[in-house]
Structures are given as structure tokens and as C-alpha cells.
Structure 1
Amino acid sequence: MAVYVRVTTDKSRVFGREADQEKLLSKLLGDDAYNQNVSIISIVGLGGVGKTTLTQLLYNNENVKAQFELKVWVCVSDEFDVLTISNKIYEVVTGENKNFVNFDQLHLALQEKLSNKRFLLVLDNVWIEDQDKWEVLEKPLKGAPGRLPLALIAIGRVLKGKGSDEYEWDRLLKSEIWSSNDSILLALKLSYYDLPSQLKQLFAYCCLFPKDYEFNKKELVLLWMAEGFLNHPNGNMSMESVGFEYFEELQARSFFQQHSAGHKYMEPKYTMHDLMNDLTISVAGDFFYFLDAKMDVNGRNKAFEKLRHFSYLGRRGAENGKLEELRRSEHLRTLLMVLVRSPYYTLENFLVDIFPQLQFLRVLSLTQDSIRYVPRSIGALKHLRYLNFSGSPIQQVPKEVSELYNLQSLLVSHCRWLTSLPTSFHKLIKLRHLDMTNTPLLKKTPSGMVGLTSLQTLSKVIIERANGFKVSDLNNMSNLQGELFIEGVEEVTDPQQAMDANLEGKKGLVSLDMEWSDVFDESQNSVLEYEVFQMLKPPSKLNRLNISNYGGMKFPSWFVGPSFDKLTLLIIIDCPNLVELSTGVISTLEYLNISFCKKLVSIGENEINAGSSNRKSPLREVRLCGCDSLESYICANTVEKLCIEDFDSMTSVTMSTTLQELPTSLKSLAVHRCKNLKSLFYEQLQSLTSLEEMRIIKCESMDDSFPCGLWL
């Protein structure tokens, strides 16, 4: 995306647009525009009909200049990235390039700069109709959504669902909410009452989470599933698919808002407006209770006896005494410890006593610092379907967990001290999700996994010989989805076992990591590793591929052709024998990282960099590091961020001319410790019109060759 501070068009060369210009001027300068907080005008048409030219005429009109204190023109690229666009708006408004990474901070900063100002913002070359993204972008321009805008949005979504039914519209017009003292909350209740019955309980369930909580969509769906909320008349849909569909419906009705996408390759987070959170509490009734440090439990004896769903937000051990009231809740189904940050006051002693009383518990979440070890009395929870220890300092999951034969989800992600799981996993025949992400000390996959054919999440497997987990044990797990990390690929000694794994048949996988041993000695067989890798062909819809410590001299043949039409991220690290990387036409690749491949001499420049000759490459970010034999690199014109580090042999870096497109998109350039690099975009510097940041460190051979006046 580029930003133009000055926009010019020769008015004498524009014909036949006078009527259009007058109509648009009346909209820009008329009373309707003055009476609205934010007025939006869309100019729509086919490419090349003159939309930008017409807008430039308006932008430079003297009457427009006189009416607006501030004018901003932003040209949007093919990808509508809200954070990037908002950062560019801030940069043009303030003249400061701060590159905010947090949406909330950026929006507050923009609101402060635009407050009480009449401004004109032009977004040029926009090709998107995603309503959610537009709402996020508009938020700082018209102020954070308050009570009234949220209520209007909610009612608007209700009316949209009514279509043209005059009776329903009239019924809403005569509703009692318009005469209530708190019509805002009642208006939101109207949107709740309009929900299908199956969505009402899903929304009410969210009262168990504090205000400003960042929801992970999958986490919430797994909770709903464990509670039995995801029954669906269409038996062909999985419970998870039903849950995702329900979540998207709630989001479309403004019950959830996308908070931020974080890194573009991470799952987005969602929040709930404070008033929506109040509404969840209002409609949840006596069966739900959220307890934090500020609440008083006195006088709630009867309520605790009726309680079915309970969550606790605590930060100090002195508050743990309030949990004693749970002894009255014999029919409790949900126990969530939310954001517990008390490493010196954990709950093991309390849990040891109370577990035998919680015979009906379905959901148990003991994350972060709530526990240091898992009490063995957990085996009494025979109805448990969801068990979450994520982020806790536990070192092992006891064997009693393998007796929980109704368990659907076991989550131990980010348990950095975890070393072992129960060995008798074959008993968990209903297990659908086993998340072991970021468990570096866990070096053994439980035996008996081969029979768990319902598994959809299996984030990590460790391949062993003898009686350990074999890669062929993945054969029957055809329902795997999301991420899979295969550690210890060097233990696969027979390519047939790799073929039997049938990775290609696991259509739901979107991210695949394969890691060989980082011990490079005489025992390494590069030919065998190639043959095994050849048989581990991923599904064609893979989005991310990460290869580490592979010992072969080349990549498999399936990597050459146009096998993957969804691959956006490729990471290749520590492949000591890799000589040439030929990727075929990966026309979707956005991020490329190749590091410490010491023998690599060639990257298929016309393939990985430029895509096909008649199609613009989406490649945006490239990182090359420590590939000592690579002497040159030709960078695609579309790359926005290029980092080259620790090269002894590289002598030149140039821009691709395959697409004949100048100027380039490069914004950030970093070249570090390339002692023999002499040519850096030589004779192409005039094309680097988008460059914002350039760092060249310890590149001694460039001292005399870099153009005069640009070397610092």
C-alpha cells in the first residue's frame, strides 16, 4: 500500500464527468454530510472507467479544500489489512511513523488526533465487501462504539433478518422498549430474544467470562460441545462445524466483535462489548455464576445449591476461601478458572477434597497458575468431557485421566514443564482434541493412540522405533485438522511407513511442521531421508509448511509442480545438505524464510519469487539467513520486507524484472553481516519509491560501491 500526500490531475484533460462531479460535490458539501458523524460515499465501477480520476478532481476542488481541515489519501493494495491502513492514516495525519501493533492503542491515538475535526479520507483501489473489516476500520473515525450505536446496530441486524415483513416491522415499532427507562439494554435484549433457541444458551454461557476477555473461537466451540449445546438435526455435520457456524451467526449479529488478528498467520481473537457482557449476565439466570475478587458470596447459599456453571477470576490466595461455597454445588457441570495469576496460592488441596463431590462435572479448566500438579482424585469425574491445563506448570498428567472415558478435549498447550502423559490412552475412545502445542519437554507420544480415530486435533507426535509411536500410526486418523508437528522424522527407516501415514488424505490439515534430528553425523542417510520425505506428501490445501533439519540434497518431486494453491508460508531451517530449492509455481506464497542451509546455491528465482509470468506474486516478506553458498538473490517486486543476514558468499541482490513493474513495493530492507556483498539493487535504487526503512550493517565490501550520497 502506498500513501500519496499530494494528488494531482490535469482538469483540462478530463471530459464528460461534469454531472458526476456536481452530484458528488453536493454530497460532500451538503447538509446531509454535516449532520452525520461519519458520512461514507462509495464510487463503484469497473477498472479503468475513471473512478480515481474523478475522485482526484473532487479532492483538489477549491470548495472541498475550504470545507475540510484535513485531507488524507490512502491507496489500498489488493489485501485489505485494517491495521496497516489505520497505521498509514495515522502517519499521514500526524507525520509520524509509529507502526502500532495493537489495535486499541492505534484507535485511541487516531481518535485523539481526529477529535472535533472535519476531515476527508479517500481510500483508493478498494476491492472488499467484508462488513466486519469495515466496522473495525470505521471505529476510530467515528469514536468508539457507545451505548446508542451498539443498540442501533443490534436492532438493525434484527430488522435485516425480518426482510420486508411489514407485520414484524410494525410489531417492533410498537414494542415497549421505546418507553423504557433503559431502552438501550432492552434494545439489546430484543436482539437476544430474536435469536434461535440454540443460540440463546450459547450466548448466555459467555457470562462466565469477564469483561474485555479475548475469546478464541475454537476454545469456545469446544466448551459448547462439552456442555452438549451443539446437537444438530443434520447428522452429516460434525459438532465442531455446527459450533463454528453458530459462532459466525452470533458474530454477524454483533454479539461478538473481532478484536485483532494479531500476526496474520495466527487465529484472530474476539471480544464482547461491555453492554453485551451485561446482557449475558441479565439473561443467564441463577444457573450461572462468575466470581471475582470484588464479589461477596454472603447470602448466596441457595444460589450455590442451584448452580450449574461456575467460573472464578482470582489473583490472590486470600480470595480462595470464597471457593468453599462450591461444596454446596453438588450438580455443578462447569468449573472454569479464568486468568488465575497466583503462583504462590494454588488450588490443589481444595480440589483434592471437592472432586469426589462433583460427580456431574463436564467442563474443568485449570489453566495458568491455578495448579502446580494434578490431583489423582480427578479420576472421580467420570462425566468430564473437557479438561484444560494450558499454561500451567504441571510436569505430568496422572494415569487417572485415562479413566475419563467420556473425555472429548484434553488441552495441555504451553505447559513448558510437562514431561509425560498417561500411557493407556486407548481408553479415551471419545477423544477428539489433544492439543500439545509448545510442550518442549514432552518427548513421547502416548501408546494406544492408533485407535483414536475420532481425533481432529493432534498438534504433535514424536516418532520412535521399537514400541514407540510410528508415523504409520497416523493412517487411520483421517479427521485430523488444523496443525500437526511431526518430531523425530529421522526415526522413520522405511519409506513405506511414511506412505502409510497418508498425510495427503488428511484434507483438514492447514499447517504442517516436520523436524528431523539436529545431530548431523555419519548415521545420517541423506538418500533415505529424501525417500521418506517423498512419501510424506501433505494435502494440497496446506497453508503453512515448516521443514527443519532435513538431510536430503533436494526436496521431493511433489514440491516442484503446482501442488499447493493455498500455501502462504514456507519456512526451511537447518537443512545442511540442501543444494537447490526448486519450488515450482507457488503462486500463493506470502512469507518465505530460508535459514542455515549451508550448501544451498540456488533458489528458483522465476518460480518462488515471481510466480508465473502472467500473474502477480503475492510474496510480501522474505528472510534469508546463514546460507553460506548462496551468491546472489533476485527479489520479487512485490516483496515489502526483505531481511538478509550472515552470508559469506553472497555478492549481489537485485530486483526481479519478470513482471516489468516499477516502482517496487519494498518498504523495509535489512542487510547484516554480508562481508562480500558488493551490489545491492545497483541501478535499481530509483525504483525503491516505497522504501521506509533501510539497515545495512557490517557489509564491508559495499563501502566503495554504494552510490554516493546514500551511504551513511
Structure 2
Amino acid sequence: MSVEEVGEQYFNDLFSRSFFQESREYEMDFIMHDLLNDLAKYVCGDFCSTLKDEESHNRLKMTRHVSFLGNSGNSFKFFETLYNANRLRTFLPLCMRSNEGDSKLLMSSILMQELFSKFKFFRVLSMSGFSTENELLDTIGNLKHLRFLDVSGTNIKKLLDSVCSLYNLQILKLMNCKCLEELPLNLYKLTNVRYLNFSKTKVRRRPMDVGKLKNLQVLSSFYVDKGKLQKIVNPSDALAATLKNKVHLVKLELEWNACSDNSEKEREVLEKLQPSKQLKKLSIRGYGDCENCVLLPPLGILPSLKKLWITGLSGIVAIGSEFYDNRSISSSVSPPFTSLEILKFENMEGWEEWDCKIVTGAFPCLQKLFINDCPYLEECLPEQLPCLLKLKITNCSQLVASVPFAPSIRRLHLSNCGRLHIGYQLSTLRILRIDEWCMKESFLEWVGHISLETLMIMRSPTMNIPLGCSYNFLEYLDLSSGLLPKTRVLTRLYIRECSNLEMNLKKLDYEGFCNLSSLESLCLSNCPNLQCLPVEGLPKSISRLAICGPSVVKERYMKPKGEEWGKISHIQCLVINDVIIN
């Protein structure tokens, strides 16, 4: 395993034990639990320090790793606090974020000179969030021990050749340097670099002799020209790339011009690229044969394949044994798609049939199945998916099939599809969403007995949920109906687009709301015939009311006056067309 894989394994283990938690403020960020954070600070003592711009620290002789939390431009004062910390290994500013990515702290050439000459033991150096001068100083080459350098978001225009003497450097981050136009000619000397990212910059040329970076695992995309792979004249040139020898290459994206008409040459180029067996992610876009492809390759033979997206292959009419593995049909080898967890078919305009019965035991680990925009698909779906958690079928109006046996399923989303039959109890289903009417009403009579927590039936005015069923776990309900079920745990109710209902929803049913004793939030959207709320008012449990779109009743509550307001005097938050009234 690579060091990155080992590190990811450690991180996932700590995350599973709640050592780390997902941040609620920023997506894909993680934080430590408060108690663990306090414990870590206690154990580290002065070895690790986190400074703030209003603090002054003089006892930093033992400090090896320092981070700086601040927003101000007083970087001189900050560096004064580091005067005694001459054995620093880590310098990591953690400035406040801004949506525009603007730098917050000013770092002059004098400060950079001081930083690079005094702290020669740096392993990790970040200037992300600082406003630096146009070029990094030559003295950065003195940091011979440096492994990690991040200057993302700065206004540098050029990296000097001195950076290329950092022969221990493994990670170089230059993202969002909007003034950066070129990279050093000798960048290939950074033979230990594993991660090089200069995305969202003005760099348009491939780094010189990038093939000499034998340890490189991540390289940001760059623009060669508009021709892409179809510009290759001699397919043998693709073989010269020797991708099969690049065992650290784990992600590869290949893109052709979809308008190319030389499919034979493109096929040769694709065959000669030959990535290594260590490849983890492969994306093929615009390949000329894709438009005319009538058969899928035997992807079922890939034992480690976890995610598969098949998009825009409009020439595919039927998917059969060729998709799995012909050997698995006639022998006792392992089932096809042994490790597959996510499968998506999308925008397959010619697809009519999926022969799932020809192979038994396929997809034993599949967790998510998506079939979107396949208007002529008629049959069928896999019969058994023991690990399936989510099934989403949209815009498949001809599909007539049975929902797979999925004893673990939790989410089911159906939109504008044909009739789907369910012949068993979905006791684990928690979220059901139906957009557009697409199945028998009897389906919902049965659904009412399961452990649903969220039920959404939208743009289906002829479909009513059965009122006699128990919904003991339902907390969120989104309907195109004014008929309410009995449930004591529902906290949020959304009623929309009720203009064509049998009731015509001229007023709300007070008795129906009284059955919802835990209801806290009510939203009425696009109910043009709604004229008044119940004469008795709304139940006291409702604290938030939102009325959106055209409706007669909306006008009565635009101004806080009159008899109508007495009916909702207990409402704490009233929203009319996204405007908070009180």
C-alpha cells in the first residue's frame, strides 16, 4: 500500500470511532470532537501551538508545529511571537475563509526572507491565505527538508527555479493562483513529488519532462489544445506513453472530440494506451465508438470494480450476457460484478431490454442503482439485490418490472416511470419519493404499514395516500393532496399543487390537522384555490407557517391585522413567498 492509502485507512478508522466528525459549515471538512481536541492539546503541551492574531506568545522554544488563526493584516506582530521558535517543523496559517478566495494577510518580501532563512527545518509550509509578492524568493531553496508547500490563492505570477532544488518535496499546491502563468522549466527535478495541483491558474503548458516524475500520483488537468486525443496522428504514439508502467497512476481521464469520424484510428489509440493494473478510476468521454456502440464490454469480469456509470450510449438496444461474463453463465466462477456498489445508466435513448435473468447472483454488493432518462426501456430489473440501499428510476415511462428483492433498501425514488410491482414487504424502507403518477394506488395502501420516515408524492394529483393505515414513524410528508393520514410523530408537512384535487382544497381540514399532534411546520405551495384556513384556526403545535405561490389565502396575511390573524396568533414564524412577516 502507498503511504496515502495507509493514511486514508487510519483516517477512516478514526472517523468510524468519532475521533473526527464532519463539519456542518463546510462540505468535505472534518473537525475533532471537543473533548478529544482538549485532550490532544493537553498531551501535546508546547510542542504544538495554535496562535491567534490578538495573542502574544513568548514561550515557543519547544514548539515544533504552529498554526495561526486570524484575519488581520498585522502579520509583523504575528512573526514577533515566533522569534524564539527556531526549530519549527510546521507553519500552517488557518485564515478565515472568503467566498471569493481573497487573501487576508500581507506577507512582504522582507517577511518571506526572514521566514525562509530563519526556519530551515520546515517540513510543512503553507502561505495559503496570504497576499504575497509576485514571485517566491530564491531563498526558499534553503528549505531542504521541506515536504509540503502550499501557496494556493496567492497572487504569485511565477515560481522561481529555486523551488526545483527542494528535492524532498512531495506535495506542491498552487490552486487558485489566478496570476500564475508558467511553471519552472526544471520542475522535473522534483523527483519525489507525489501531488502537483495548479488548477484554476493561467498555466496552459504541460510541465517540462513531466514523465520523469516517477512518484507522481496526482496531476491537475491542463489544456494542451482543443484537439485532445483525436489529434494523435499515429496510434503507435499512444503506446509510447507507457501507461502500463506507471504503477502509481490511479486515475485516468481520456477525452475525444465526439464529432470525430475516424473510429478505427480511435479504437487503435484506445487499445494502445494500456493503463496499468493498479488503475482505480477510468473515465472515457467523447470516444467515437460510443455513439455507435451496440454491445457493452464484459465489465462483470472486473473483480474490484466498485462504481460504474454508463451514459449516452444511445446505440445500445439490449444488455445481455456480454455485459456480465460469459464464463460465469456456464461455470462455477465467482458471480459477475462481485464488488460493484454503485451502478448508473443514464441518457440511453435506444435501450429497450435488460436481460437480468440470464445470470444468477450478479451484483451481490450493489448498494445504489440509478436508471435515468431511458424512455424505451421495458424490462427488466435484477431480481435479487441483497445489499441495495437506494433505488432511483426517473423518466422510464415504458418500464414494466418488479422491484428487486432488496431486504436492506432504505430509499426509493420513482419519477415518470411505468408500473413497478413489489411482491414483498419493504420493512427497511425509510424514504419514499414519487414524482408524477407512475403506479397503482394499491401500492401505497401497502406502503402505509412500513416504517417510513419521509414520504413525498409530488405532481401526482390523482394519487391519494390511504387514510386508514398507520404511519408510526413518519416525520416528513410532502403531498399533492389535502387528505391527511393519522400519525402522531409527523413534524413537517408540505402540501403543493392542489388545484385539481377532488376537494379542490378551498380550505384546510381542521380535524385532519388535529390528528397530527406533533406537527411543527406547515408549508402550502401553489394551491391557487385555497381561500381560508380552518375556521377553528391551526393546531397550537404548529409554530411555522409558509405560504408560497398563487393562492387567495395568501393576501389575507400580508398585513398583520383583522380576524384572520387571530387564527394563527400562536405562529412564531410566518413566511409569505420567502418573505418573513413576523
TM-score (norm 1): 0.49
Tell me what 2:306 maps to. 568
| Structure 1 position 613 matched with structure 2 position 360 | yes
Tell me what 1:641 maps to. 390
Alignment match of 2:72 (pick from 296, 311, 316): 316
- Structure-1 separation of matches of 2:76 and 2:315: 57
- Structure-2 separation of matches of 1:528 and 1:261: 47
Tell me what 1:498 maps to. 238
Tell me what 2:140 maps to. 380
| Structure 1 position 431 matched with structure 2 position 169 | no
- Structure-2 separation of matches of 1:246 and 1:691: 32
Q: CA deviation at 1:388?
A: 3.4
Tell me what 2:153 maps to. 392
Amino acid of the residue matched to residue 346 of structure 1?
L
Tell me what 2:432 maps to. 694
- Structure-1 separation of matches of 2:53 and 2:150: 22
Alignment match of 1:366 (pick from 100, 110, 126): 126
Q: 1:665 to 1:310 in 2, by over 3 A?
A: closer
Residues paired across the two proteins, number = 420
Q: CA deviation at 1:539?
A: 4.5
Deviations 1:480-521 (A, max 9, x none): xxxxxxx944444544343444444544555x342415x543
Alignment match of 1:669 (pick from 398, 412, 417): 412
Tell me what 1:336 maps to. 92
- Contact 1:443–1:462 (Cα < 8 Å) also in 2: yes
Tell me what 1:514 maps to. 253
- Structure-2 separation of matches of 1:686 and 1:410: 53
Alignment match of 2:370 (pick from 618, 623, 642): 623
Tell me what 2:170 maps to. 409
Identity %: 16
- Structure-1 separation of matches of 2:390 and 2:230: 34
- Contact 2:392–2:413 (Cα < 8 Å) also in 1: yes
Tell me what 2:105 maps to. 346
SS in 2 for 1:529: helix
Q: CA deviation at 1:355?
A: 4.4
Q: CA deviation at 1:369?
A: 2.5
Tell me what 1:14 maps to. none
- Contact 2:342–2:368 (Cα < 8 Å) also in 1: yes
What are the residue-to-residue correspondences of 1:234-633 with 2, within 5 Å?
240=3, 244=6, 258-260=19-21, 271=32, 273-282=36-45, 284=47, 289-293=49-53, 295-297=55-57, 299-300=58-59, 303=60, 309-318=65-74, 321-326=77-82, 332-341=88-97, 343=102, 345-349=104-108, 351-355=111-115, 357-358=117-118, 360-366=120-126, 368-371=128-131, 375-377=135-137, 380-384=140-144, 385-389=146-150, 392=153, 394=155, 398-400=159-161, 402-412=163-173, 415=176, 417=178, 420-436=181-197, 439=200, 443-455=204-216, 457-462=217-222, 464=224, 488-510=228-250, 512-517=251-256, 520-521=258-259, 523-540=260-277, 542-553=279-290, 559-560=297-298, 562-574=300-312, 583-584=323-324, 585-600=336-351, 605=356, 613-614=360-361, 617-627=364-374, 630-633=377-380
- Contact 2:141–2:166 (Cα < 8 Å) also in 1: no
Amino acid of the residue matched to residue 189 of structure 2?
L
Amino acid of the residue matched to residue 458 of structure 1?
V
- Contact 2:399–2:418 (Cα < 8 Å) also in 1: yes
- Contact 2:372–2:395 (Cα < 8 Å) also in 1: yes
Q: 1:463 to 1:376 in 2, by over 3 A?
A: closer
SS in 2 for 1:634: coil
Amino acid of the residue matched to residue 645 of structure 1?
T
Amino acid of the residue matched to residue 643 of structure 1?
K
Q: 1:640 to 1:380 in 2, by over 3 A?
A: closer
- Contact 1:542–1:564 (Cα < 8 Å) also in 2: no
- Contact 1:423–1:448 (Cα < 8 Å) also in 2: no
Q: CA deviation at 1:652?
A: 0.7
- Contact 2:137–2:160 (Cα < 8 Å) also in 1: no
Deviations 1:601-643 (A, max 9, x none): 5656468xxxx62466111112233345545451453232122
SS in 2 for 1:552: helix
- Contact 1:594–1:624 (Cα < 8 Å) also in 2: yes
Q: 1:316 to 1:341 in 2, by over 3 A?
A: farther
SS in 1 for 2:142: coil
- Structure-2 separation of matches of 1:491 and 1:382: 43
Deviations 1:203-226 (A, max 9, x none): xxxxxxxxxxxxxxxxxxxxxxxx
Amino acid of the residue matched to residue 652 of structure 1?
L
SS in 2 for 1:453: coil
- Structure-1 separation of matches of 2:203 and 2:351: 32
Q: 1:635 to 1:459 in 2, by over 3 A?
A: farther
Q: 1:388 to 1:394 in 2, by over 3 A?
A: farther
SS in 2 for 1:652: coil
Amino acid of the residue matched to residue 236 of structure 2?
Q
SS in 1 for 2:137: helix
What are the residue-to-residue correspondences of 1:42-191 with 2, within 5 Å?
none
Amino acid of the residue matched to residue 44 of structure 2?
I
- Contact 1:379–1:400 (Cα < 8 Å) also in 2: no
- Contact 1:489–1:514 (Cα < 8 Å) also in 2: no
Q: 1:438 to 1:348 in 2, by over 3 A?
A: same
- Contact 1:637–1:664 (Cα < 8 Å) also in 2: no
What are structure 1's unaligned runs of at least 5 residues?
Answer: 1-236, 469-486
Deviations 1:32-72 (A, max 9, x none): xxxxxxxxxxxxxxxxxxxxxxxxxxxxxxxxxxxxxxxxx
- Structure-1 separation of matches of 2:28 and 2:383: 28
Tell me what 1:205 maps to. none
- Structure-2 separation of matches of 1:245 and 1:709: 47
Q: CA deviation at 1:356?
A: 5.1
Q: CA deviation at 1:399?
A: 3.6
Which structure features the higher share of helix residues?
Answer: 1
- Structure-1 separation of matches of 2:377 and 2:266: 23
Amino acid of the residue matched to residue 382 of structure 1?
N
